[in-house]
Amino acid sequence: MPNPYLQAKVMTATPGELLLMLYDGALRFCRQAAAHLEHGKPDQARRPLGRTLAIVQELHGMLNPSQAPELCARLESLYLFSEQRLLEALATGEAIPVREVEKVLEQLRQGWVEAVDQVEARPVERRTG
């Protein structure tokens, strides 16, 4: 059943806030997957790993090199790295690649928080996951 609060939050969010929501979701699922893998539960890690991968692929697909070619090239390399490491974690059941992706996503999210603050001229929620 859909969450009415979440639906309202998404429908009223700015583009920057929506981007940060994607990062928050990716981080939440990434942490869940890593915890399952660290506790020897690879089957339970598959769903959150898949969700993390889907969000990273969505973020990758949103890149628009015609607007900021250098930034997009840097982001693309980080997204490709993250996608490869998540696929590796799915194949091996190891948590280390997932924790590496978590660090990348945390750093990217922080950068976007600062960018969104500047563009939207209002503070956004700074917590992660």
**How confident is residue 15, by pLDDT bands cut at 50, 70 and 90?**
confident
**How confident is residue 118, by pLDDT bands cut at 50, 70 and 90?**
confident
pLDDT at 3: 75
More confident residue, 119 or 50: 50
Mean pLDDT, residues 3-25 taken together:
81
Tell me how crowded residue 12 is: count the other CB atoms within 10 A of its CB.
8
pTM: 0.85
Got the DSSP string for 64-89? -TTT-HHHHHHHHHHHHHHHHHHHHH
Q: Kindly tell me if the per-residue pLDDT of 20 is higher than 90.
A: yes
Task: Give the pLDDT confidence of 54-108 residue by residue, as tens digits.
Answer: 999 999 999 999 989 999 999 999 999 999 999 999 999 999 999 999 999 999 9
- Side-chain-facing half-sphere of 49: CA atoms under 13 Å: 28
59 and 37 Cβ atoms separated by less than 8 Å? no
Q: Which CATH superfamily is domain 13-117 in?
A: Flagellar protein FliS (1.20.120.340)
Task: Determine the Cα–Cα distance for residues 30 and 50; give it in Å rounded to an integer.
Answer: 9
pLDDT at 82: 98
pLDDT at 127: 57
